[in-house]
Structures are given as C-alpha cells and as structure tokens.
Amino acid sequence: MTIIDQEENLYWSDDIISSLQSIIVKGNYSEVFALCDKNTYQHCFPKLETIFKLENVMVVLDGEKNKDLAATHFIWQKLLEIQADRSCLLVNIGGGMITDLGGFSASVFKRGINFVNIPTTLLAIIDASVGGKTAINFEGVKNVIGSFSKPEATIINPGFLNTLNERQLKSGFAEMLKHALLSGGEMYERLFHPEFFFSLINGKDIVSSIRFKAEIVKTDFTEQGIRRQLNIGHSLGHAFESYFMDKQSSLLHGEAVAAGLLAECYLSSLHDELPNVYLEIIAPAVKQLFHWQTIPEEHFAEIIRFINQDKKNTHSTLQFALIRKPGEWFMSNTVKESEIFQTLEWMNDTLKE
C-alpha cells in the first residue's frame, strides 16, 4: 500500500485484501460491516468477501435515486439489529453514491462510527471519496442533508474500474477535467489537448487529480474559502441533475458536472472574465463526454428554481465559482437570472447534435 496523501488518509493499493486487513487490525474494531450497492456487490465485493461475516454485509439498490433517507434508514436499522457499537467499522464499497450514503450514515450513527472508503468508480476515486463530504438527497434536492466527516482510510485500487462501463468512466473523467481546469498548468495542457481522449488516462493522471483535490481540502476542510473553487460546474450541474432526475433522460453526476462546467465557463465569459478562445477548447473536451438533451425554454424557470436551492447561496444571492483562465478562479455573487437564461440558450445551441 503506498501513500497518496497521509493527512487525508489516501492510499493506493494493488493488494486490496491485505491493505484493508491492515487497517482493520490497526483500528482494533469490534465488528466490521460492508456496504455495497447491488452492482458493486456483484462485481467488487467478491474481491473482499473473505474479510466479512455474511450477516455483516448490507446491500442497497444502486443509483442516485437511492441515495436517500430510505437507504439511510435501512443501514441504521441493520446496524441496530446487529447491535453495532461505537467501535465498529463500516466499509463502503462502491461509487460516490455508496461513499456518500455510507459516509453520512456512519457519521451520525451513535454520534459517529469509523468508516473506510473503497471507491470503485473513477468519479469516486478522484473526487467523491476524497475530502470528507458526505450526503444524501432529500425531497428531490441533491446532497441537502450531510456532514463533513473523514474516513479512516480511502483505499484506491484501479482494478475495480475493469467492470465499469464507458458511460460511467466518462462521467468520472468530467470531474478530472474540472480539476485540470482549476489547476491550470500541465494537467490542463494534457487533459484539454485536442487529441486527448478520456480513455488515455493513466494512473499518474489519476493520482495527480486526487492530489490536486487533497491539497485544497487540507487547507479548507469545511469550505470557507479555497475549497469553494471545487464547486465550479456544480451550481448549474446540480440544477441539471435535479431537473433531469425525473425525466426519461436522467444525467449521471459527472455528465451534469460536465454540462455545468461548460455552462459556467460561458457565464465567466459573459462576465468578461474568461476569454472566448477558451470556450473553443473547453467545449469539445466536454462534448465528448455526454449527449445533451435540449431544455425547452419554458422549463428555464425550473432550472432557476433548482439553482436557488443551492447550498452555496447566502443572504438570497446566487453564489457561483467562476473562472478567469485555467488555474485562476473567483467567486461571483453578481450572476443575474437573465444571464442564466442566456447561458441555457447558448448550451442548447452549442451542444445540439
């Protein structure tokens, strides 16, 4: 097991069983529980099953819709039934849905039990399992109930990605693009190169992306300052995700972020900050990742309604993380509803097939 970031408890491991075992031994836990969704139970859990007692394994339905209070209830009920005490450990084996759900459930059960993340999607590896944010969705609003709570360890084994489909890999790559845009420099030059395609990513790209986020969250764990840059793409991204959630063409989280990133780059250019030339580089990189469904103009107000629920807003003003150029971001509280309408029109136009 090699250390990616000691302070953030991030490890890279080619031998997942012995790495998890060493953490369990070190923690001297009373019991060890596993949380999977039905897909990670099928594809990922078999690599770890010798560690767990059969009755200590919890399996929930997969998908964003199930990152909810009902699943949280199921986990708490199961932990109570098995008489889990405060010295037990919950191991979250899955994508961001599972690391968010398991992390949140663990963070408040008996005022907090320890948990370990074993991320099994690219998105969870480079983003969701890094930085100690946990959450569930409530009343159709994304991540509105949650906590800041650090895992005992996040163990990364890219071997889990072998069973992930292309759409999910692209969804994770969207968050890597976000990190690259915010970081600027080498990461930006490589990932936004016109000949770079998501399938070219390697272990070094993954570690750079993780370290970029880890460095930020280390200085600003509870998002009072520089961590807010990581929300770029998310104000509109979450609104797109919520809007499409109940439609036939629902978006994956990373797809929504990719769309949000492009939309917020356009907003940045509307504010005379990001030069237009960057839109010509960013748009094709984002377009390779998902298929945009046109949002009818009569639904634009619905997007605004979702943006108004954004956790970042304060004193009734919309707060957006925007960008001046790769590597230079800023917070804006001057985005107007009319500019969001204009952005949605631009998105419909730019991303149509």
Ligand X SMILES: NC(=O)c1ccc[n+]([C@@H]2O[C@H](COP(=O)([O-])OP(=O)(O)OC[C@H]3O[C@@H](n4cnc5c(N)ncnc54)[C@H](O)[C@@H]3O)[C@@H](O)[C@H]2O)c1
The residues annotated with a catalytic role in the active site are 111, 133, 175, 213, 223, 227, 231, 234, 238, 253
- Which residue number, 230 or 322, has a Cβ lying nearer to ligand X? 230
Q: Compute φ and ψ for 10, nearest 5 degrees.
A: -105, 125
- Which residue number, 128 or 155, has a Cβ lying nearer to ligand X? 128
- CA 315: distance to chain centroid? 26
- The minimum distance between CB 194 and ligand X, in angstroms, equals 26
Looking at residue 215, what DSSP letter applies? H
- Which residue number, 107 or 269, has a Cβ lying nearer to ligand X? 107
By Cβ distance, which residue is nearest to ligand X? 96
- Which residue number, 92 or 268, has a Cβ lying nearer to ligand X? 92
Can you tell me the distance from the alpha carbon of 68 to that of 36, in angstroms, rounded to the nearest whole number?
15
Which residues face 94 on adjacent strands? 119
Residue 52's nearest CA partner among 38, 43, 41 is 41
- The minimum distance between CB 349 and ligand X, in angstroms, equals 28
DSSP string, 88-131: -EEEEEESHHHHHHHHHHHHHGGG--EEEEEE-SHHIIIIITSS
* Three-state SS at 329: strand
Q: Decide: 179 and 185 in contact? Cβ < 8 Å.
A: no
- The minimum distance between CB 136 and ligand X, in angstroms, equals 9
Can you tell me the distance from the alpha carbon of 205 to that of 96, in angstroms, rounded to the nearest whole number?
19
Which residue, chain included where needed, has tokens 């996040």?
Answer: 154
- The minimum distance between CB 352 and ligand X, in angstroms, equals 25
- The minimum distance between CB 126 and ligand X, in angstroms, equals 9
Q: Decide: 285 and 192 in contact? Cβ < 8 Å.
A: yes
- The minimum distance between CB 79 and ligand X, in angstroms, equals 21
- Which residue number, 112 or 296, has a Cβ lying nearer to ligand X? 112
| C-beta neighbour count of 275 within 10 angstroms | 12
Q: Which residues bind ligand X (CB under 6 A)?
A: 37, 39-40, 43-44, 62-64, 67, 94-98, 100, 120-121, 123-124, 127-128, 131, 133, 143, 160, 163-164, 168, 171, 252-254
Token representation of residue 334: 């001057």
- Which residue number, 205 or 223, has a Cβ lying nearer to ligand X? 223
Can you tell me the distance from the alpha carbon of 238 to that of 258, in angstroms, rounded to the nearest whole number?
11
Which residue, chain included where needed, has tokens 């957006």?
Answer: 320
- Which residue number, 182 or 274, has a Cβ lying nearer to ligand X? 182
- CA 207: distance to chain centroid? 16
Token representation of residue 209: 């992306």
* Three-state SS at 341: helix
- The minimum distance between CB 214 and ligand X, in angstroms, equals 12
Residue 174's nearest CA partner among 132, 137, 209 is 209
Can you tell me the distance from the alpha carbon of 105 to that of 241, in angstroms, rounded to the nearest whole number?
23
